[in-house]
């Protein structure tokens, strides 16, 4: 990301909005916005596959592993406004487990890009299925979208829930129900 280009674009945006980019409160705004975007979109510079492969461990465990309530922050690709919420990830190992913090890191890598929630949910599930080769993977994301809260329909209490169920989480009602019960979302089944 070229921060100088971003700063020039933000300076021009301020002018287009009718502001004076040289007034005291806005002089450093282009720099701050460029820094913020570098942080908010850092997922583009990260490799989820590398994160997973660097933390795979042999295990004979075949019981469900769940990390729930992973905080996520993302940006809607349609309006470039934030959406935020929680991600719940579960899988049933088949010979390998991944370091627990890596599940949260994978969620962050995909969330810190311009996204739609549906794709985000699927990307997390798919990369785990492809690299852990578990019996199954379940991912549920619950989020509030500022593009729906601040503009448009202006619905403050709405949230979106998406799920991706692969392998045994898709094929077995019992496995899916166990996962949804353990994350506190029984009503999705």
Side-chain-side CA neighbours of residue 176 (13 Å) = 15
Choose the catalytic residue: 12, 78, 118, 177: 78
Q: Which residue reads 């080769």 in tokens?
A: 133
> Are the C-beta atoms of residues 133 and 96 closer than 8 Å to each other?
yes
Using alpha carbons only, give the angle 62, 65, 66 rounded to the nearest 5 degrees.
160
Residue 189's pLDDT is what?
A: 45
Token pair recorded at residue 45 = 């510079």
> Are the C-beta atoms of residues 53 and 124 closer than 8 Å to each other?
no
Residue 8's pLDDT is what?
A: 98
| Backbone conformation region of residue 69, classed left if phi is above 0, alpha if psi is from -120 to 50, else beta | left
Q: Which domains does the chain have, with CATH numbers?
A: 3-40 (1.10.286.10), 53-188 (3.30.1130.10)
The question of whether 38 is a catalytic residue gets the answer: no
Contacting residues for 30 by C-beta, under 8 A, at least 6 apart: 6, 7, 8, 10, 11, 14, 21
Choose the catalytic residue: 77, 118, 133, 177: 77
Residue 50's pLDDT is what?
A: 97
Largest CA distance in the chain: 63
Residue 36 DSSP SS3: helix
Residue 187's pLDDT is what?
A: 57
Residue 186's pLDDT is what?
A: 59
Q: What's the average pLDDT block by block, 10 residues per block, for the chain (189 residues)?
A: 96 98 98 97 97 96 96 97 98 97 98 98 98 98 95 90 98 97 75
Find how far residue 81's CA is from the centre of its chain: 14
Q: Are strands 56-58 and 96-98 parallel, antiparallel or unpaired?
A: antiparallel
The question of whether 145 is a catalytic residue gets the answer: yes
Residue 129's pLDDT is what?
A: 98
The question of whether 78 is a catalytic residue gets the answer: yes
Q: What is the distance between the alpha carbons of residues 84 and 73, in angstroms, rounded to a whole number?
A: 4
Closest CA relative to residue 102, chosen from 40, 43, 143, 53: 53
Q: What is the CA radius of gyration of the chain?
A: 20
The question of whether 4 is a catalytic residue gets the answer: no
The question of whether 76 is a catalytic residue gets the answer: yes
Choose the catalytic residue: 7, 115, 117, 123: 117
Q: What is the distance between the alpha carbons of residues 130 and 136, in angstroms, rounded to a whole number?
A: 10
């Amino acid at each position: 990301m070229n921060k100088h280009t971003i700063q020039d674009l933000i300076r021009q945006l301020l002018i287009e909005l009718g502001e004076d980019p040289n007034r005291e409160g806005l002089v450093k705004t282009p720099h701050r916005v460029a820094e913020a975007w570098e942080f908010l979109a850092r997922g583009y510079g990260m490799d989820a596959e590398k994160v997973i492969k660097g933390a795979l461990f042999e295990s004979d465990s075949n019981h469900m592993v769940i990390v729930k309530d992973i905080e996520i922050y993302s940006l809607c690709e349609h309006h470039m406004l934030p959406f935020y919420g929680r991600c719940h990830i579960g899988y049933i190992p088949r010979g390998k487990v991944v370091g627990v913090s890596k599940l949260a890191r994978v969620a962050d890598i995909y969330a810190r890009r311009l996204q739609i929630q549906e794709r985000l949910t699927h990307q997390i599930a798919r990369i785990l299925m492809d690299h852990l080769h578990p019996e199954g993977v379940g991912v549920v994301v619950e989020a509030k979208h500022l593009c729906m809260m601040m503009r448009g329909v202006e619905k403050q209490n709405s949230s979106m829930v998406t799920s991706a169920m692969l392998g045994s989480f898709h094929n077995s009602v019992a496995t899916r129900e166990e996962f949804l019960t353990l994350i506190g979302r029984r009503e999705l089944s």
